[in-house]
C-alpha cells in the first residue's frame, strides 16, 4: 500500500470562500452532527447558540439522507412492480385471446363449454371457486386455462404489492419533507442569530474559519500506508476534494456533507457505501482503537454516529465538518467530536 502525504490543494478557487460575508450567510448548508459535546465552553452567547443549531441541523441532515435513500429504493421497487404488472397484463391478454379462439371454435361445434364461460367471465373468483369444472375440459384446453388463472393471480398479487409500496413511498416522501423543513428551520434560526453579530464579531468568526483552513493546508499526515487498496483509492479521491464547500444533503462532486464525501469517495474506488454515517458505521471491519487506524479507514464520530470522515494519518481526520466550512484536514483531538470507532473497507 502506498503512503499518504497531503497533496497539493487542487481547487484554489475554493480556499478563500470563507470571508466575513460568507460567515454570515451559511444558512444554505448543514452537516450530520450530534449533541454529544457541548459547544466550546470558551465560546459565549450568539456563537454558542449558532453552534448548537448547526449540530441539530446536521443530525436532521443524516435523517434526511437516510429517508431519501429509502424513498429512492421504494421508487425503484414501485417502477419494477409496475413494469412487471404491465408485462403480466400483456401475457394475460394473449391468453385471454387464446381462450376466446377456443370458445369460438367450441361455439361452432355446438356450444361453449361451461368452464370456458367461467374463465372468460368478468368475475374470475367465480371460476376459482368452481375449479372442478376444469375436469370437463379436454387436457389441451385445461393447460391454457390453468396458465390463464395463474397469470391472473400473479397479476393481482403484483398490483396489491405495488399499491402498498406506493403508500409507503408517499409516507416516506412526507417524512423526507419534514426532515428538510427541520434542517431549513435550524439554519434559518442560525442565520437570524448571525445577523445580530457586529461587523467585528463577523470578522472574528470568518477569521476562525480561515485559521482552520490554513491549518488544513499545513496538516502533517505522516507517511503511514493504507491498509487496503480500495481504502487508499477512496482516500485519494477524498483528498482531491479538499477546499470544496459543505452543503447539507450533497454527495459531490463539488459539494458534500460528511457522509456524502465518504460515499462519493468510495464510489470512485468502485465500492458502493450506504448513504448515512450510521449505516457506514456498520460496514467493513470495525477498528476500536484510534491508534490502529490507517489512512483511508473511515472514522465514526459522536455517540449517535452522526459524523464520519477519513482517517488521514498522524491523528488527523479528513472530513466535511459543518455549515460554512470546507472539506479539510483537522486534528481529531481538537475537533470537538468524540471518536467512536473506525471502519476498514476493502
Residue pair 162/78 in contact by the 8 Å Cβ criterion: yes
**Helices marked H in 195-311:** 199-217, 229-239, 258-268, 277-280
| Distance separating alpha carbons of residues 147 and 124, to the nearest angstrom | 13
CA 163 vs CA 166, 219, 245: distances in Å: 5, 54, 41
Q: Confirm whether 141 is a catalytic residue.
A: no
Q: Confirm whether 319 is a catalytic residue.
A: yes
Q: Of the residues 141, 158, 179, 258, which is catalytic?
A: 258
Q: Confirm whether 179 is a catalytic residue.
A: no
**Helices marked H in 109-198:** 114-119, 124-129, 139-194
Strand order in the sheet with 339-344: 285-287, 339-344, 298-301, 307-313, 316-319, 328-331
List the grid coordinates of 121: 367471465
Instruction: Give the orientation angle of helix 139-194 with respect to helix 45-108, to 10 degrees.
Output: 160
The residue length of the chain stands at: 346
Q: Of the residues 141, 158, 179, 307, which is catalytic?
A: 307
| End-to-end Cα distance, the chain | 12
H/E stretch holding 86: helix 45-108
91 C-beta neighbours (distance < 10 Å), count = 14
Q: Which residues have a catalytic role annotated? A: 258, 307, 319
Amino acid at each position: 500500500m502506498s503512503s499518504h502525504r497531503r497533496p497539493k490543494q487542487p481547487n484554489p478557487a475554493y480556499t478563500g470562500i470563507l470571508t466575513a460575508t460568507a460567515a454570515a450567510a451559511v444558512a444554505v448548508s448543514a452537516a450530520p452532527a450530534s449533541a454529544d459535546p457541548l459547544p466550546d465552553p470558551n465560546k459565549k452567547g450568539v456563537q454558542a447558540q449558532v453552534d448548537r443549531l448547526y449540530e441539530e441541523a446536521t443530525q436532521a441532515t443524516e435523517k434526511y439522507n437516510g429517508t431519501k435513500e429509502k424513498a429512492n429504493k421504494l421508487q425503484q421497487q414501485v417502477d419494477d412492480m409496475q413494469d412487471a404488472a404491465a408485462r403480466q397484463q400483456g401475457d394475460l391478454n394473449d391468453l385471454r385471446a387464446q381462450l376466446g379462439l377456443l370458445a369460438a371454435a367450441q361455439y361452432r361445434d355446438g356450444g361453449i363449454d361451461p368452464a370456458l364461460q367461467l374463465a372468460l367471465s368478468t368475475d374470475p373468483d367465480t371460476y376459482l371457486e368452481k375449479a372442478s369444472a376444469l375436469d370437463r375440459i379436454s387436457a389441451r384446453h385445461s393447460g391454457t386455462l390453468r396458465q390463464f388463472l395463474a397469470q391472473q393471480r400473479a397479476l393481482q398479487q403484483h398490483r396489491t404489492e405495488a399499491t402498498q409500496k406506493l403508500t409507503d413511498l408517499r409516507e416516506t416522501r412526507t417524512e423526507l419533507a419534514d426532515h428538510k423543513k427541520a434542517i431549513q428551520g435550524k439554519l434559518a434560526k442560525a442565520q437570524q442569530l448571525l445577523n445580530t453579530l457586529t461587523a467585528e464579531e463577523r470578522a472574528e468568526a470568518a477569521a476562525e474559519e480561515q485559521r482552520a483552513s490554513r491549518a488544513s493546508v499545513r496538516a502533517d499526515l505522516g507517511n503511514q500506508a493504507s491498509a487496503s487498496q480500495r481504502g487508499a483509492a477512496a482516500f485519494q479521491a477524498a483528498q482531491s476534494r479538499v477546499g470544496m464547500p459543505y452543503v447539507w444533503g450533497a454527495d459531490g462532486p463539488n459539494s458534500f456533507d460528511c457522509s456524502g464525501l465518504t460515499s462519493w469517495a468510495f464510489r470512485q474506488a468502485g465500492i458502493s457505501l450506504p448513504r448515512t454515517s450510521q449505516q457506514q458505521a456498520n460496514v467493513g471491519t470495525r477498528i476500536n482503537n484510534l491508534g490502529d487506524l490507517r489512512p483511508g479507514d473511515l472514522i465514526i464520530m459522536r455517540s449517535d454516529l452522526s459524523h464520519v470522515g477519513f482517517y488521514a494519518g498522524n491523528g488527523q481526520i479528513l472530513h466535511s465538518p459543518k455549515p460554512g466550512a470546507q472539506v479539510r484536514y483537522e486534528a481529531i483531538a481538537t475537533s470537538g467530536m468524540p471518536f467512536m470507532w473506525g471502519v476498514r473497507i476493502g
